[in-house]
C-alpha cells in the first residue's frame, strides 16, 4: 500500500464524517431534548437514518453522549474537548476583540500539526481539496477527448489579501468564510443535507468552483482564494517535516511537475510553504530523489517585516471598529444545529455566591423582522460543590423599552441545561438576571447572576455583496488580461 492509497482512504473517511457526525449529534439531541419516551420512539421510527443508528446502539434509550460532535472542519468536540479550525479562532478573536485562553486552546491541535507537518490539512483531509482533485481528473479526461481547457494563472498572494480581509470583516461581524472557505461551505451543506434533507448555497457555489477549475484555472480555490489555505501556508514556514529534493540523484525527468497540485517546482527544489504535503510528486519520482524529511525553518527577514506591518494594520483597524459579540465556539448545549459555530452567539460565565452560571444566547433564524426576533437562551449552572444544578430557576430579560414577565423553569433538562426562547422587538442592548431561589419552594432570591446581552444586525447586506462582488470580478479580470498579455508577449520559437 502506497502513501497515496493511505491518503485517499483518509480523504474518503473524512468526507463520510461530514455526513455521519451531524446525524449522530442530531440523534443524541433527539434523546436529550424529547422528554417523552413515546415521542422519541415515534420520531426514530419516522426517520430511517435514526432507525439505523438506534439499531446500532442496541435499540435502547441510552444517554451516553456521542464521543464526537460538530462538523470535523470548523469546530468539533472529542469527548468534551473542542477543536476548532485556526481560521475560526482567528475570526472569533477579531470579533470578540479579546484573547481568551479557552478559545485559543481550541486551535492548539491543528496549529501544532501545521507546525510539524505543514499544510497537510489541505492535502490529506480537506473535503473540498478531495473534490477539486476529482476536478483535475475530469480536466485531464476532457483533454484526452480533445476538448481544450484553459489554465489561467492568478497571483498566489490573492489568498493572503483575502485572509486579511476575512479577519477585518470578522471584526465587524461579517464572515466572508461562509462564501469562500471550502471546508465551511462543505460542512454547512453536508449538515443541512444529512439532518434536514435540504440544499443551501453551498452546493451551487462548490459546483461553480468545480466547473471553473475544470474549464479555466487548475486548483484556483486552493492556490488563489482560500483564506484557510493562506493561514496554513503561513504556519508552514515553520514546519519540520517537509518534502525534500535530492539534487544529486535527480535525473531531470520532470515527472513531478505536472502532478503537483499546488503548481510548484519540486524538480528543482522549489517546494516552499505552499506545499500541502500530498506526496504525489514523491510517488511520481522514478529514482526517489523526492522524499519526506526533517528540516528546521529559517524565516526570511522580508516576511518578518511583512508580518509586522500586517499586524500593525490589523490592530489599528480593530481599535477603530465597534465591538461585536463573538461567534459561537464553546457552547453549553449538544444540539448540533444550534451549536454550529457560524451562528453568532455569546458565551459568558459569571460566579455568584459560589455558583458558576454559564449563559449562551444566539439569534434563532427564521423569524420575520416584522414579527420581531427570537433569541435562543441556554443556561448551565454548577453549584458551590462543582456539581450540576438542575433545580428551579427564574430568568428576567429587559431592555430597549421592552420588559417581560419572569420566565420560571422548574428544572433543567437531562443534560443539565435550561433551554428556552425569548421574543424581542428590535436589535439592541439587553440585561438578563438569572435567579436561583432559596430552597425549593417560593421565589425568594438567594443568588442572582447578571448578564449583558448585545443583539446586533449581522450578515452581509445586498449592497455590500454587490459592490464586493463587482470588485472581486474587476480584480480577476485585470489579472486575466495581464495573463493573456504575458502569454502574447512570449517569443515564438520554431521547432
Q: What is the DSSP string of 370-426?
A: GG-EEEEEEEEEE-TTSPEE-S-EEEEEEETTEE---EEES---TTSEEEEEEEESS
Average of per-residue pLDDT across 216-235: 92
- Per-residue pLDDT band for 90 (boundaries 50, 70, 90) equals confident
Whether residue 377 is predicted with pLDDT greater than 80 in this model: the reply is yes
β-pairing, 407-409 with 402-403?
Answer: unpaired
- Per-residue pLDDT band for 233 (boundaries 50, 70, 90) equals very high
What's residue 307's pLDDT? Answer: 61
* Cα–Cα nearest to 364, from 338, 402, 403, 329: 338
Angstrom distance (rounded) from CA 385 to CA 473 = 59
Whether residue 408 is predicted with pLDDT greater than 80 in this model: the reply is yes
Identify whether the C-beta of residue 314 lies closer than 8 Å to the C-beta of residue 321.
no
For 237-273, the pLDDT digits (tens) are 888 889 999 999 999 999 999 999 899 999 998 888 8
Share of the chain above pLDDT 90, in %: 21
Whether residue 314 is predicted with pLDDT greater than 70 in this model: the reply is no
Angstrom distance (rounded) from CA 268 to CA 281 = 12
Average of per-residue pLDDT across 22-31: 68
Identify whether the C-beta of residue 274 lies closer than 8 Å to the C-beta of residue 233.
yes
Average of per-residue pLDDT across 9-27: 80
345-455 fold: Immunoglobulin-like (2.60.40)
Average of per-residue pLDDT across 100-109: 77
CA 167 to chain centre: 14
For 327-342, the pLDDT digits (tens) are 333 333 333 333 444 3
Angstrom distance (rounded) from CA 436 to CA 391 = 8
Whether residue 494 is predicted with pLDDT greater than 60 in this model: the reply is no
Identify whether the C-beta of residue 259 lies closer than 8 Å to the C-beta of residue 275.
no
Average of per-residue pLDDT across 296-300: 63
Q: DSSP per residue over 20-33, as a string?
A: HHHHHHHHHHHHHH
CA angle at residue 259 from 253 to 260, to 5 degrees?
A: 105
Whether residue 310 is predicted with pLDDT greater than 90 in this model: the reply is no
> When comparing pLDDT for 243 and 95, which is higher?
243
Whether residue 39 is predicted with pLDDT greater than 60 in this model: the reply is no
Residue whose C-alpha cell reads 423569524 in the numeric block: 367
What's residue 329's pLDDT? Answer: 34
Angstrom distance (rounded) from CA 477 to CA 204 = 22
Whether residue 118 is predicted with pLDDT greater than 80 in this model: the reply is yes
What's residue 33's pLDDT? Answer: 53
Whether residue 343 is predicted with pLDDT greater than 70 in this model: the reply is no
CA 60 to chain centre: 33
For 435-483, the pLDDT digits (tens) are 888 765 555 567 888 888 877 654 445 555 566 667 667 766 776 777 6
> When comparing pLDDT for 105 and 415, which is higher?
105
Average of per-residue pLDDT across 357-376: 69
Average of per-residue pLDDT across 56-62: 57
Amino acid at each position: 500500500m502506497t502513501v497515496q492509497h493511505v491518503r485517499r482512504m483518509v480523504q474518503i473517511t473524512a468526507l463520510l464524517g461530514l455526513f455521519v457526525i451531524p446525524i449522530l449529534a442530531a440523534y443524541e439531541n433527539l434523546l436529550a431534548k424529547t422528554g417523552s419516551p413515546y415521542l422519541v420512539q415515534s420520531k426514530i421510527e419516522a426517520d430511517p437514518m435514526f432507525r439505523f443508528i438506534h439499531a446500532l446502539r442496541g435499540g435502547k434509550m441510552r444517554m451516553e453522549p456521542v464521543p464526537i460532535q460538530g462538523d470535523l472542519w470548523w469546530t468539533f468536540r472529542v469527548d468534551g474537548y473542542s477543536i476548532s479550525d485556526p481560521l475560526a479562532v482567528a475570526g472569533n478573536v477579531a470579533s470578540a476583540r479579546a484573547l481568551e485562553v479557552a478559545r485559543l486552546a481550541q486551535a492548539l491541535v491543528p496549529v501544532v500539526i501545521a507546525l510539524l507537518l505543514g499544510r497537510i490539512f489541505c492535502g490529506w483531509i480537506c473535503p473540498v481539496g478531495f473534490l477539486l482533485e476529482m476536478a483535475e481528473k475530469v480536466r485531464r479526461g476532457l483533454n484526452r477527448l480533445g476538448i481544450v481547457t484553459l489554465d489561467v494563472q492568478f497571483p498566489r498572494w490573492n489568498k493572503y489579501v483575502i485572509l486579511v480581509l476575512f479577519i477585518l470583516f470578522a471584526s465587524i461581524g461579517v464572515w466572508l468564510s461562509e462564501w469562500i472557505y471550502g471546508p465551511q461551505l462543505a460542512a454547512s451543506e453536508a449538515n443541512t443535507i444529512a439532518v434536514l434533507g435540504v440544499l443551501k448555497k453551498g452546493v451551487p457555489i462548490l459546483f461553480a468552483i468545480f466547473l471553473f477549475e475544470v474549464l479555466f484555472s487548475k486548483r484556483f480555490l486552493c492556490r488563489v482564494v482560500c483564506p484557510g489555505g493562506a493561514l496554513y501556508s503561513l504556519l508552514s514556514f515553520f514546519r519540520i517535516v517537509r518534502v525534500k529534493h535530492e539534487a544529486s540523484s535527480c535525473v531531470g525527468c520532470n515527472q513531478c511537475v505536472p502532478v503537483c497540485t499546488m503548481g510548484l517546482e519540486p524538480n528543482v527544489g522549489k517546494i516552499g510553504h505552499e506545499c500541502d504535503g500530498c506526496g504525489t510528486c514523491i510517488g511520481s519520482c522514478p529514482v526517489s530523489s523526492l522524499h519526506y524529511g526533517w528540516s528546521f525553518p529559517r524565516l526570511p527577514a522580508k516576511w518578518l517585516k511583512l508580518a509586522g506591518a500586517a499586524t500593525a494594520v490589523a490592530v489599528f483597524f480593530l481599535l477603530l471598529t465597534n465591538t461585536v459579540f463573538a461567534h459561537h465556539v464553546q457552547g453549553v448545549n449538544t444540539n448540533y444545529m444550534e451549536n454550529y459555530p457560524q451562528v453568532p452567539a455569546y458565551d459568558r460565565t459569571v460566579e455568584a455566591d459560589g455558583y458558576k452560571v454559564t449563559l449562551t444566547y444566539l439569534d434563532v433564524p427564521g423569524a420575520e423582522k416584522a414579527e420581531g426576533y427570537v433569541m435562543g437562551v441556554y443556561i448551565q449552572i454548577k453549584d458551590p460543590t462543582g456539581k450540576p444544578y438542575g433545580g428551579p430557576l427564574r430568568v428576567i430579560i429587559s431592555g430597549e423599552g421592552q420588559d417581560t414577565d419572569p420566565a420560571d423553569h422548574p428544572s433543567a433538562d437531562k443534560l443539565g441545561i435550561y433551554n428556552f426562547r425569548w421574543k424581542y422587538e428590535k436589535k439592541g442592548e439587553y440585561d438578563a438576571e438569572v435567579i436561583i431561589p432559596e430552597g425549593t419552594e417560593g421565589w425568594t432570591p438567594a443568588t442572582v447572576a447578571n448578564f449583558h446581552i448585545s443583539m446586533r444586525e449581522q450578515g452581509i447586506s445586498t449592497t455590500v455583496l454587490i459592490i464586493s462582488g463587482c470588485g472581486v470580478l474587476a480584480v480577476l479580470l485585470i489579472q486575466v488580461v495581464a495573463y493573456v498579455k504575458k502569454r502574447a508577449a512570449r517569443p515564438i520559437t520554431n521547432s
